[in-house]
């Protein structure tokens, strides 16, 4: 898989382990000539990842909502710019331009993107793999919640048919 969509935080206030792992993924993607497809922001894990991909020979495809341009929040490490109207448009293009999705630590936007792709998968719009990278146990609470949904029998398509959880960089690379 060459076009890897990544959903992750734009926060600059996270624990350093998350930035180190995002950079590690970016270096791997760059060295292996992969294309990062991401939301185009110049902050947080998003910028760390884009910089590492760009500086190590990969291609960075930024899907940039108008508001990022208006607030001067667009990364300088983007090789291919795709401008869109808003976050809804961004999700559509992130999904359509990626062969696989990787979810790093993030907040509401990251969850929104992940669950949108999962919902599309559930009803058969696509069958793209989603890899949840549980760095340092970041997603443990979410995984517990999702297991509760399964136990309550509200899940129509088993999560493990669309979502793979990995805990280490090595596991992530093996899935990619």
Mean pLDDT by 10 residues, the chain (176 residues): 96 98 98 98 98 98 96 97 95 95 97 96 93 98 95 92 96 97
> How far apart (Å, rounded) are the C-alpha atoms in residues 29 and 22?
11
pLDDT, residue 1, reads 87
Using one digit for the tens of pLDDT, what is the confidence trace for 141-162?
999 999 999 999 999 888 999 9
- For residue 176, give both structure tokens: 């990619």
- For residue 150, give both structure tokens: 């399964």
- All structural domains of the chain with their residue ranges: 3-175
> How far apart (Å, rounded) are the C-alpha atoms in residues 148 and 153?
9
The answer to whether the beta carbons of residues 58 and 32 sit under 8 Å apart is yes
Q: Which of 80, 79, 19 is nearest to 49 (CA)?
A: 19
Where do the H-state alpha helices sit in the chain?
Answer: 16-31, 44-55, 66-70, 87-97, 108-122, 140-151, 169-175
The answer to whether the beta carbons of residues 36 and 26 sit under 8 Å apart is yes
CA angle 170, 150, 143 (to 5 degrees): 35
pLDDT, residue 95, reads 94
For 3-175, CATH gives: 3.40.50.450
- For residue 142, give both structure tokens: 């979410």
Beta strand pairing call for 35-38 and 163-166: unpaired
SS3 state of residue 134 = coil
């Amino acid at each position: 898989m060459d076009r890897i969509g990544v959903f992750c935080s734009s926060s600059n206030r996270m624990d350093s382990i998350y930035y180190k792992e995002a950079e590690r993924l970016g270096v791997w993607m760059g060295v292996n000539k992969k294309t990062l497809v991401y939301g185009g922001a110049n902050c947080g894990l998003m910028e760390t990842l884009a910089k590492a991909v760009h500086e190590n020979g990969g291609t960075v495809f930024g899907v940039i909502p108008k508001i990022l341009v208006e607030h001067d929040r667009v990364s300088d490490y983007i090789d291919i710019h795709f401008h869109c109207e808003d976050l809804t448009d961004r999700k559509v293009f992130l999904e359509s331009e990626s062969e696989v999705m990787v979810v790093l630590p993030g907040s509401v936007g990251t969850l929104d993107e992940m669950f949108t792709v999962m919902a599309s998968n559930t009803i058969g719009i696509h069958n793209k793999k989603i890899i949840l990278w549980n760095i340092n146990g970041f997603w443990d609470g979410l995984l517990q919640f999702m297991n509760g949904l399964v136990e309550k029998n509200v899940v129509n398509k088993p999560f493990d048919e669309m979502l793979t959880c990995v805990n280490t960089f090595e596991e992530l690379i093996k899935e990619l």
